[in-house]
Amino acid sequence: MLTKTKRNLLTIGALAAGPLFAGATAAQAATINGAGATFPYPIYSKWFQAYRQVSPSTTLNYQPVGSGAGYAQYKAGTVFFGASDAPLTNAELAAVPGTVHIPTVAGAIVLAYNVPGIGPGLRLSGDTIADIYLGKIKSWNDPRIQKLNPALNLPARNITVAHRADGSGTTYIFTHYLAAVSPAWKSRVGAGKSVSWPVGLGANGNPGVAGLIRNSPGTIGYIELAYAVQNRLSYGPVRNRAGNFVLANTASTQAAASQGAARMAKDVRVSVVNGGGRNTYPIVGFTYLLVPKKPKDTARGREMVSFLRWAMGPGQGMAESLLYAPLPTSVIRINERAIAGIQSGR
């Protein structure tokens, strides 16, 4: 019997092919278009459907095209809101003045793999992950991986590395983690929505990387936790800064998110990778909606404000069923003040 979480996740694949509510009629009062990150698409698709029960006259269409493409569409004015796991830089904000970041949930990135004969639970450390992505560790039975997994009989199979080919907030979080744990990665590759990958095969979106892993034995890739579960891909615990091997789940994600809460009072654009704490999963990030503080279309602005208020209330209660961590209460309060500013234009 499928658990509630798996039932929720198995509906995602059918939704990912196109915009939500494509059959909406012209008689509806407000259609609000958005585009951006694939990282939060499972929770956004559920939110936008659920909100139709609250406000039947409001349609939220969302295209999961990646954080980079979402920002580009938002900047060009072809969508009302954008979505990104990579908070905008000061330079990017200057190009879209008056944009408000609304953190919505936190999510974990796992290293999913397809190694015949090896099931879930493969242990990895930050330096090992970095050296796999640098091309220094080339085989699954490399002594460094074997040392972390002494009970496993790892195969002498070449590692195929999968990464994002598009501008990606998932990449932003993952490469910031690698830069935090590996001086070699930081100096050679760096961090961002797009980087020059030393090795590997690229695919678009979390669904694309998940498909590459699923269809290519010997492959490892980084994807948001919900996509690993949806695609029944194996993943294991990662050694955190405290030296403990921690599995990604809502509790370990929330432990990481809570460490950013105090800093978000000053600026919500924070990084929570490689956080401290015994039970903290180390590859975690917030994801953001990008909305105009003074919408040109005031009617859509009012509807967006109503949705955002709902997302900070009932919407947060849906996060854990899709393996995201709801926001700390203090961050919800920060958002509520920002949302009030959108409504008033102050």
Q: Are residues 73 and 120 in the same domain?
A: no
Q: Are residues 212 and 70 in the same domain?
A: no
CA pair distance 329, 332, nearest whole angstrom: 5
pLDDT in tens, the chain (346 residues): 344 444 444 444 434 433 333 333 333 468 999 999 999 999 999 999 999 999 999 999 999 999 999 999 999 999 999 999 999 999 999 999 999 999 999 999 999 999 999 999 999 999 999 999 999 999 999 999 999 999 999 999 999 999 999 999 999 999 999 999 999 999 999 999 999 999 999 999 999 999 999 999 999 999 999 999 999 999 999 999 999 999 999 999 999 999 999 999 999 999 999 999 999 999 999 999 999 999 999 999 999 999 999 999 999 999 999 999 999 999 999 999 999 999 644 4
Q: Are residues 100 and 119 in the same domain?
A: no
242: containing domain? 108-265
Boundary of a domain, candidates 232, 265, 298:
265
CA pair distance 22, 12, nearest whole angstrom: 16
Tokens, residue 191: 């961090």
CA pair distance 235, 301, nearest whole angstrom: 41
CA pair distance 170, 224, nearest whole angstrom: 7
**Phi then psi for 66, rounded to 5 degrees?**
105, 150
**Residues shown for the chain:** 346
Q: Are residues 209 and 259 in the same domain?
A: yes
Q: Are residues 123 and 240 in the same domain?
A: yes
Tokens, residue 218: 């010997």
Q: Are residues 228 and 99 in the same domain?
A: no
Task: Choose among 326, 320, 247, 236: nearest CA to 280.
Answer: 247
- Indicate whether 308 belongs to any domain: yes
Q: What is the CATH number of the domain that holds 10?
A: 3.40.190.10
- Indicate whether 333 belongs to any domain: yes
